Structure 1
Amino acid sequence: MPDFEEIASTDEFGSLDRLEVFVDDIPVLLIRLNDQYLAIEDVCTHDGQPLTAGCIENGEIICPRHGARFDLLTGNALCMPATKPIQTFEIKVKDSKIFARPRD
């Protein structure tokens, strides 16, 4: 898989719904949502703080500091105070290994 980096295993999740990982030295939040894996940059574009502890609702993550919301699929900022999107990553799963690469 060209350009994809192995970042985790499905076994690492256990009962968790998210893992903190790195892709190309970028802090990434790997999220298990039902049977789907999603990955976003783990930094709020409003103030640079981690999104790690943010609530996940309706396909969005809510920044725990100031309430900015981001779409987990597109990375788009959905409300103030954030106005810029977060980076998202393409995910592939093969033999319980999870691979990622930045989306263009």
Structure 2
Amino acid sequence: MTYVRACPFAEVPADGAVGVEIEGTPVAIVRSGDDLYALNDICSHAEVSLSEGEIYNGTIECWLHGSCFDLRTGKPTNPPATQPVATYKVKVEDGDVYVSLGSDD
């Protein structure tokens, strides 16, 4: 599995998100409590940036229509979104966040 540097860990706000682009893919790097997640930054319903939304209860909320996505699975937890967003492996090394866009398979 190949990891690519996404951003400095210090740039990811506590209980917030930052949007980055990795190899042409928009990715939201999200901190929720002590946990770090990476998921596709484009809402599956309205094609807007999820990293601009609120983080709460293990979800990220799309700011446009209010769909929430589970940070672990990418699955929507309420309408209007019905399709999940991709999730990615993420790790922190030497103060930087690294993301793998590859699958676990």
Quickly name the TM-score band, shorter chain normalised.
0.7 to 0.9
For the aligned residues, what is the CA RMSD? 1.8
- Identify if the C-alpha distance between structure 1 residues 17 and 67 changes in structure 2 by more than 3 Å, giving closer, same or farther: closer
Runs of at least 5 residues in structure 2 that lack an aligned partner in the other structure = none
* Partner in structure 2 of residue 20 of structure 1: 19
1:48-84 alpha-carbon deviations (Å, 9 max, x no partner):
1111221111001111111111001100011111110
1:87/1:102 contact within 8 Å kept: no
1:17-41 alpha-carbon deviations (Å, 9 max, x no partner):
3222112211111112222211111
Give TM-score, length-normalised by structure 1. 0.86
- Identify if the C-alpha distance between structure 1 residues 14 and 70 changes in structure 2 by more than 3 Å, giving closer, same or farther: closer
Cα distance in 2 between the residues matched to 1:4 and 1:96: 14
Residue 63, structure 1, aligned to residue 62, structure 2:
yes
* Residue identity (%): 31
Runs of at least 5 residues in structure 1 that lack an aligned partner in the other structure = none
Aligned-partner residue type, residue 51 of structure 1: L
Please state whether the residue corresponding to 1:52 is helix, strand or coil.
helix
For this pair of structures, how many residues does the alignment match?
103
